[in-house]
Structure 1
Amino acid sequence: HIQSGDEFKDLWVEGEVSQARVSPAGHVYFTLRDNVGQLQCVLFASQAAQIALTPRDGTKVLAHGWVEFYHREGRCQLRIDDVRPAGAGDAFLRLEALKRRLVAEGLFAQERKRALPAAPRRVGVVTSPIGAAWRDVQTVVARRDPRVELILAPALVQGVGAVDSLIGALDGLGQLRELDVVIIARGGGPSEDLAAFNDEALVRAIARFPRPVVCGVGHETDVTLADHAADLRAPTPSVAAELVVPDSTRHQVAAERLWRRIATRTREALESRRRRLGEARRLVERRAPPAKVAALRQRLDEDRRQIDRAVSRLVPTRRQRLLGSQRRLQALSPLKVLGRGYAIVEGADGRVRASAAMLRTGERARLRMRDGRANVTVEGVEKSG
């Protein structure tokens, strides 16, 4: 009857947008709600490309379209072909007004944020004991550092009574002395399910908590007032656990790297000392008397070898020079002249008579020839020319 009648084919519906999401294909899915009820809507990519306004959570819009009924699922859906702004939604405006008031009070100021402990030993967790968030936190902490003790403070995380339950869990953890940090965790869901984390009473409870608080509520795109009040916001419960608990394996690797560095430095220092000791020993041996005697003996042996080499080179040279001088002397010797038939005339006084004028008749003389001497008497002197 809904699809067959014309009264549901040309509708304008006004409401506040919630749970808006865009598919990879470009289709926009969202819910229009008011104080009475809500209606699921779809804006296909072909129509969305022609509309300037894209539905966003918290905005109030006028949507035009027609109703489609799915018999198998028993649900209705408004197929949108036009969207126009109708002002901000009432819930969105109330949330923004509360946020501005809390900002003015300084509850979200950065200087109020406390640093997380470097090595926590006891971590409180405020979440549902049956939800996926508690299992995710346990898994991450067991993997990163199993020595950390988790203390669960069970609480409702949505619906009626969730705010009081969350505040009671926080107050209970606040009574523990040996507690390092607290994680408030909840998985993702529609914005209506996260309403407790935008409640003013819970925000103030987080701000006054005596220990650092990490808020990991919803998904990456979900930002609540509790996130602003916490000392640190995490996009998911798993990331909250990673931010709170350092990875012990990383510290172990760093310790092993430091140990290897110390061992290397120690070996280098020992090698340096060993080299210096060897050099000192050799220096002492060089300066000791036995070492000096050995050095002098070595120098003497070297000098002796140098003298022997010099003599061995000098004797042949001198022998050759002597033979040369001997040959020159023999060539200049008068006896060589005598060998060619000449003779030397010596007077009775033994002096050589080099000219005939030096001889007198009747003087006794001696002739020196190649093979001997002869005594003669001068019978006469004939001068040349």
Structure 2
Amino acid sequence: MPEIPNPILSVGDLNRAIASSLQDQFDSVWVSGEVSNFKAYDSGHWYFSLKDEEGQIRCVMFRGKNAQVGFMPQSGDLVEVGASLGLYVPRGDVQLTVQVMRRAGMGGLFEAFLKLKAKLAKEGLFEADRKRPIPTHPRAIGIVTSPQAAALKDVLSTLSRRAPHIPIVIYPTLVQGPEAPPNIIAALEHANREAVVDVILLVRGGGSIEDLWAFNHEQLAYAIAESRLPIVCGVGHETDTTIADFVADLRAPTPTGAAEMAAPRRDQLLAELASFKQGMTQAVERRLEREAQTLDQFALRLNHALPNPERMREQIQNLRQRLGQSWMVRTQYWQRHQQHLTAQLEALSPQRTLERGYAVILQEGAGAVRKPDQLLAQHDYRIQLAEGSAEVTLAKVKPQ
């Protein structure tokens, strides 16, 4: 009979010994592979496998670590993970505990992103106390983006639906490629110099990390931080994250979301106005009731104090007249105040401007024409008037 080695280990002890050995030998490794069987639990933890043509391994990425990834992995994605190798003792399964994840092939860009993010965070550019508040009722909204971008159409559509009375100013710029960062910086500086808007929407549609790389530029981050006007950043899809998102005063999940965050809904403004009117009316009625009760008390005291009933009735009548006049004056004041607020709201409507004889010249894909050098002969334009619009072709342009 073969000699039994000493000591005899339990299964749990053996698995823990293997786990300890693996952690000592593979404390930190980088592994690339294809994501499969990906599951995100309500706890916030991710469980999945990495596989290639030669094998697969189980992985876990805990909440807090995966919050820094910047995208939601899907089965079939090629990724690279930084992890520690260990063994899940209850099942005896070898697994990777993932600390960092990036898309495969993006290692250099991802590392540059993390390095710049750490530097700017240390300088305080992401701190909440330096964020500027977003105005709840902006007088005008600026949009910094490409005139050809689909994101611009989404933003304009959302603003037109929510707040058609708020003027829009577009600051065109490149949003992709090596020339994009200085273009975006120049557009932000232009908006700050003009100071005709109360908030800026910095928007761009989704794309790969290379497509969005212009928004990870260090000088652009400083330009956003130094802007006197508050900036809402809506770049990419909800899972996309850029340096501009961290520095901006408010991050929106999408360009459409940025428009929704910056513009109040017109119907909500009207509802608030109606609520103010109701509140003021009720306040006046309550005051009138209190004064009437006081008047009754005075009348009672007069009946007990004065022997002349005719004089008392005369005083009561005078008090009633004064009360009625006071009520009339106060009511007229609140009516004038309501009319003033209604007139202000109407005055902000672009339709009122058109009805005064003005017109807006619109160019396909570029919005309103604001400068003479934007008018070109033999080009089609749409003129928006108070009672409709007309398509025109300019035969000759003579700037003055």
Question: TM-score if structure 2 supplies the norm length?
Answer: 0.50
Equivalent residues in 2 for 1:106-255 (5 A)?
106-255=124-273
Q: Which of 20, 44, 58 is the equivalent residue of 1:51?
A: 58
Equivalent residues in 2 for 1:318-329 (5 A)?
none
SS class of match (2:147): coil
Aligned to 2:80: 60
SS class of match (2:165): coil
SS class of match (1:235): coil
Aligned to 1:325: none
> Which amino acid is the alignment partner of residue 209 of structure 2?
S
Which stretches in structure 1 are left out of the alignment for 5+ residues? Answer: 1-13, 26-41, 63-82, 292-385
Q: Which of 270, 275, 281 is the equivalent residue of 1:263?
A: 281
Q: Structure 1, residues 171-225: CA drift from partner, whole Å, max 9, x if none? A: 2222213332211001222222111111222222222222211111111111100
Tell me, in whole angstroms, the C-alpha distance in 2 between the residues paired with 1:133 and 1:21. 32
Tell me, in whole angstroms, the C-alpha distance in 2 between the residues paired with 1:181 and 1:199. 22
* CA 148–208 in structure 1, closer or farther in 2 if over 3 Å, else same: same
Tell me, in whole angstroms, the C-alpha distance in 1 between the residues paired with 2:169 and 2:119. 33
Tell me, in whole angstroms, the C-alpha distance in 1 between the residues paired with 2:160 and 2:36. 34
Tell me, in whole angstroms, the C-alpha distance in 1 between the residues paired with 2:135 and 2:183. 26
Task: Indicate if the aligned counterparts of 2:50 and 2:58 stay in contact, CA closer than 8 A.
Answer: no
SS class of match (1:52): strand
Q: Which of 98, 103, 107 is the equivalent residue of 2:121?
A: 103
> Which amino acid is the alignment partner of residue 175 of structure 2?
V
Task: Indicate if the aligned counterparts of 1:218 and 1:235 stay in contact, CA closer than 8 A.
Answer: yes
> Which amino acid is the alignment partner of residue 147 of structure 1?
H
SS class of match (1:51): strand
Q: What is the aligned residue count?
A: 241
Aligned to 1:311: none
* CA 175–271 in structure 1, closer or farther in 2 if over 3 Å, else same: closer
SS class of match (1:121): coil
Shift of 1:272: 4.4
* CA 96–280 in structure 1, closer or farther in 2 if over 3 Å, else same: closer
Tell me, in whole angstroms, the C-alpha distance in 2 between the residues paired with 1:87 and 1:261. 55
Shift of 1:15: 9.4
SS class of match (1:184): strand
State the percentage of identical aligned residues.
Answer: 36
Q: Structure 1, residues 53-89: CA drift from partner, whole Å, max 9, x if none? A: 7895895369xxxxxxxxxxxxxxxxxxxx9999972
Question: TM-score if structure 1 supplies the norm length?
Answer: 0.52
Tell me, in whole angstroms, the C-alpha distance in 2 between the residues paired with 1:255 and 1:204. 40
* CA 21–232 in structure 1, closer or farther in 2 if over 3 Å, else same: farther
Shift of 1:262: 2.1
Tell me, in whole angstroms, the C-alpha distance in 1 between the residues paired with 2:301 and 2:119. 84
Task: Indicate if the aligned counterparts of 1:58 and 1:91 stay in contact, CA closer than 8 A.
Answer: no
Tell me, in whole angstroms, the C-alpha distance in 1 between the residues paired with 2:157 and 2:56. 43
Task: Please say which structure displays the higher CA radius of gyration.
Answer: 1
Tell me, in whole angstroms, the C-alpha distance in 2 between the residues paired with 1:172 and 1:22. 49
Tell me, in whole angstroms, the C-alpha distance in 1 between the residues paired with 2:285 and 2:101. 75
Q: Structure 1, residues 72-118: CA drift from partner, whole Å, max 9, x if none? A: xxxxxxxxxxx999997222112211211222222223232111223
Of 233-242 and 259-268, the range deviating more from structure 2: 259-268
> Which amino acid is the alignment partner of residue 148 of structure 1?
I
Tell me, in whole angstroms, the C-alpha distance in 2 between the residues paired with 1:276 and 1:243. 49
Task: Indicate if the aligned counterparts of 1:58 and 1:92 stay in contact, CA closer than 8 A.
Answer: no
Q: Considering Cα pairs closer than 8 Å and 6+ residues apart, tell me whether 1 or 2 has the greater RCO.
A: 2
* CA 134–279 in structure 1, closer or farther in 2 if over 3 Å, else same: same
Equivalent residues in 2 for 1:309-348 (5 A)?
none
Shift of 1:49: 9.4
Which stretches in structure 2 are left out of the alignment for 5+ residues? Answer: 1-29, 41-48, 62-71, 83-95, 311-400
Task: Indicate if the aligned counterparts of 1:197 and 1:224 stay in contact, CA closer than 8 A.
Answer: yes
SS class of match (2:271): helix
> Which amino acid is the alignment partner of residue 52 of structure 1?
C
